[in-house]
Amino acid sequence: MRFLKNLYERIRPEFEEGGKLTRLYPVFEMMDSITFWTNKETESGPHIRDSIDLKRTMILVVIALIPATLFGILNAGYQESIVMGFERGWLTNFWVGLKLFIPILVVSYTVGGFWEMLFAVIRKHEVDEGYLVTGLLIPLIMPVTIPLWQVAVATTFGVVIGKMIFGGTGMNIFNPALVTRAFIFFAYPTQISGDKVWIKAVDGFSGATPLAIPAAAIGENAVDLLEKVQQFDYSWWNMFMGWIPGSLGETSAVMILVGALFLAFTKIGSWRIMIGSVVGLLITSLMTNYFSGYSTNTMLSLPPHYHLVMGGFLFGTVFMATDPVSGTYTDRGRWIYGFFIGMLTVVIRAINPAYPEGTMLAILLMNAFSPLIDYFVVQGNIKKRMARYAK
Amino acid sequence: MTHLKIRKGHNIRIQGEPEKTILSTAQPSSVALKPVEFSYVKPKLLVDIGDHVQIGTPLFFDKLNPEIKWGSPGAGAVKAIQYGERRVIEKIEIELDKAEESIPLQPNIGSGISNIDRQTIIDTLYKASFWSHFRQRPFNKVVNPKGSAPSRIFVSVMNTAPLSVDLNLVLQGETTGYFSSGLTILSKLTDGKVHVCYHEDFGLNLETVSEKIESHLVSGPHPAGNIGIQIHHIDPLKPGEIIWTISAQSVIMLGKMFQTGKIDPVIIVSVGGPSVMNPAHYRTRLGVNIGSLIDGLLDVNDQHRIVDGDVLTGRKSSVDDFLGFYNSTVSVLPIDRSKPFLGWIQPGSTAKTYSLTRSFFGSGSKRLFRFSTRQNGTLKALVPINAWEDVLPMDILPNPLYRSILAGDIEEMEKLGILECDEEDFALCSFACPSKIDLGSVIRKGLDLMEIES
């Protein structure tokens, strides 16, 4: 590594004040700090500091995503093999899945990374770490069949409109990865509406996602309908394990729970948001179950534990609702914020006939409301203090 | 006696914990007072180079509150007066005489201390220029003796900051008697209570000293020993109130002054940190020259940074510098300028990483860590992962407060409780912050804004 270190030291003057490439200093700083971190000393405040920094925080979320990612790659190949009727081994399935996943990942990191660097150079600040996570989240919430140019356009929208115009990492109101997905959702609905399965297969193949099946039926029992599906195995256990078609990272509840435990254990992700959201989902779906007898809406009869493992709920809750920047920043607020995400997910799924999946919209909506939730929590704190002062 | 349990916070496990023995040091050749340390004060000199002063002779006063004067920490000739930018007086150095004299105070009061009246105490404190030992909340600044009387007084007989002085070691033998006299004096300065917080019994039945004294057993990790945290939990500051605070060692000095009629500027200082070879407690004096204090104690293999104060709240210092007026700790840290390959994704180990998150291997270890001055990252935008909240044992929302200070919204800051805050209580937040934001100095900035406004 000495060679690389020496190389950096040799070219450093070119990028520093007075050099020929001063404008590109953020790019140089990024390369330097990725390879050799930083040796910055403390200047103001405590003379010693915790070993964690933002790069570490972000890479831990990436690590938490690895189980779901690996499973998603394998599952993408597996789903193709089922539909095509192939008998093939795990390795082949993984390889096939990898060939579907890598191009989307490369496009996401290249396009997003380009915008990050461009804005850092223009604004003369260090390149932010936030995109480490966003860049991986984007392919994980896309169908494998998505055209790459759409990924590029949507990523641009997500990064520039979703994050950069607010001032970059730490300033954004909405989760940039979800903005990316929402852009595709509304701009190119044929590819990503959420009712048809996304499997790389022969032309003309079509099937319904588990959420779309009860959404399309009237006056039936959701579980019975799912059990009757021949094309895929939509039993609860299989959906919990994740061997079903869906966006790349979202299908396996098990793998997402592994990531959730990791995030909560390392104290990077807020367990309050995760628990709050699951509680919101369970309570609301119990209520819809109660009212299902009075309505012909089949979705109302979907039981809580099915809601939990279907669609993108767990993935969204664990990896996107917990985004500390776009979520609430008070502990009490985090409970409320989580609860409403779970609740709105069920409400959108069950009551809105146009969208069989509600997690994305629920999180985006709550992103918009999180400052309001925090406002009330802060007012509560102030009121308590004022009452104490008045004594 | 009440029992206060603090749950949030963290005791930093840093190498170089001072041993529990008090060693004596050679008499330093000079001591100094640093006017620049006292915030919200406009110092005006009362002495010139070459003047001869006694212990307690006023060296300067505050132009804003001319009755507050600062007494000399030693007897001898004024050797140097150092100015900084814009003619700020940085320090007044006194070259010590062989035999030092204290300014004459009241004759020895001895056992009559409980009969002394408030006015005599106040006159003596003026005469001894002792006011700077008293600080007030809000703002944590030197008290204004002409201002309103303190609603209550707080004394903390416990230090939880890293490498700080073990006060139970200090309070032994006759010092306990001086401490008790000091508390008696304090109880006469307020109509309210004198709250004394301790974490371990130190052989003094506080309730018998005066009925105004209320004692509190406090347990928990740092910052449980910080006076601001104790005030917040025991009897918090309300608008319009003034709370006085004084350090335990100053209380000893106060008691001794009234018992003997002389000012004795002796204090116990802890010297510690990974670069100190034999960390221990040393008996020395106010404003001691740091070089003479740590002479021969440092590991010569290290490049180091000397910190006047503890590693969380102290100031960068050097061997030519002098101990800060309110400090009783000198810490020395190694400087590590290495650039580890892919350091930010290293798995971590008990020897290489230390984190309050569990994001490295060995995070929960009990081993003492060799901290250096590494920042471990660069300043970034705030990503609130609760690092601040987890180490702040106060009913204060740090994140909204931070935002209101950045916005300069004085009304909001006050509502969020900034007047109960001091930067030292937020030092652990700055330590833990993944974005490397120095929250403590932001809090100070907010307090400065409030002070200008009032």
Q: Tell me, what's the pLDDT at B219?
A: 95
Q: Name residues 135-174 of chain A within 8 A of B (Cβ).
A: 167-171
Spell out which residues of chain B touch residue A45, defining contact as CB-CB under 8 Å: 427, 430, 438-441
> DSSP code of A24?
G
Q: Say if the Cβ atoms of A41 and B337 lie within 8 Å.
A: yes
Nearest to A134 by CA among A119, A116, A149, A122: A116
C-alpha B116: how far from chain center: 29
Residues of A whose CB is below 8 A from B340 = 36-37
Q: How far is A124 from chain B (nearest CA, A)?
A: 13
Which one of A37, A54, A267 has the shortest CB-CB distance to B357? A267
**Chain A nearest C-alpha distance from B421 (Å):** 14
Q: Which of A228, A212, A242 lies closest to A354, judged by CA?
A: A212
Q: Are strands B22-24 and B280-285 parallel, antiparallel or unpaired?
A: parallel
Q: Do A41 and B335 touch (CB under 8 A)?
A: yes
Q: Is A322 on the interface with B (CB under 8 A)?
A: no
Q: Does B221 reach chain A within 8 Å, measured CB to CB?
A: no
Region A318-345 average pLDDT: 94
Q: Is the peptide bond before B434 cis (omega within 30 degrees of 0)?
A: no
Residues whose CB is less than 8 angstroms from the CB of residue B373 and which lie 6 or more positions away in sequence, other chains included: A41, A42, A47, A48, B305, B333, B334, B335, B336
Whether residues B435 and A54 touch (CB distance < 8 A) is answered with: yes
Contact check, Cβ <8 Å, A38/B377:
yes
Task: List the single residue in A45, A46, A325 with the smallest CB-CB distance to B383.
Answer: A325
How close B373 gets to chain A, by Cα (Å)?
5
What mean pLDDT do residues A167-171 have? 85
Q: Hey, what long-range contacts does A193-196 have (CB within 8 A, 24 or more apart)?
A: A193/A355, A194/A311, A194/A355, A194/A356, A194/A357, A195/A356
**What is the Cα–Cα distance from B52 to B37, expressed in whole angstroms?**
23
Please check whether residue B231 touches A, CB under 8 A. no
Query: Which of A35, A38, A59 faces B378 most closely, judged by CB atoms?
Result: A38
A21–chain B nearest CA distance, Å: 22
Nearest to B354 among A50, A325, A386 (CB): A50
**Peptide bond before residue B223 is cis, with ω within 30 degrees of 0:** yes
A vs B: CB pairs below 8 A: 208
pLDDT values of chain B reduced to their tens digit, one per residue, 454 residues:
889 999 999 999 999 999 999 999 888 999 999 999 999 999 999 999 999 999 999 999 999 989 899 999 999 999 999 999 888 999 999 999 988 888 888 655 655 777 888 888 998 899 999 999 999 999 999 998 888 889 999 999 999 999 999 999 999 888 999 999 999 999 999 999 999 999 988 878 888 888 899 999 999 999 999 999 999 999 999 988 999 999 999 999 999 998 888 899 999 999 999 999 989 999 999 999 999 999 888 888 778 999 999 999 999 999 999 999 999 999 999 999 888 888 888 888 888 899 999 988 887 788 999 999 999 999 999 999 999 999 999 999 999 999 999 999 999 999 999 999 999 999 999 999 999 999 999 999 999 999 988 7
Complete DSSP assignment for A52-104: --HHHHHHHHHHHHHHHHHHHHHHHHHHHHHHHT----HHHHHHHHHHHHHHH
Against a cut of 0.80, is the pTM above it?
Answer: yes
B66 CA: distance to closest CA in chain A (Å): 32
- Residue B430 has its nearest CB partner, among A45, A59, A267, at A45
Residues 102-131 of A with CB under 8 A from B: 126, 128-130
Considering only CB atoms, which chain A residues are within 8 Å of B316? 47
Nearest chain B residue to A371 by CA distance is: B400
Which residues does chain B have within 8 Å of residue A389's beta carbon, measured at their own beta carbons?
A: 238-239
ipTM above 0.90, yes or no: yes
Indicate the residue of B12, B344, B440 with minimum beta-carbon distance to A55.
B344
Whether B314 and A47 lie within 8 Å, measured CB to CB:
yes
The C-alpha atoms of residue B280 and residue B60 are separated, in whole angstroms, by 33
- Quote the CA–CA distance of A183 and A345 in Å, as a whole number: 19
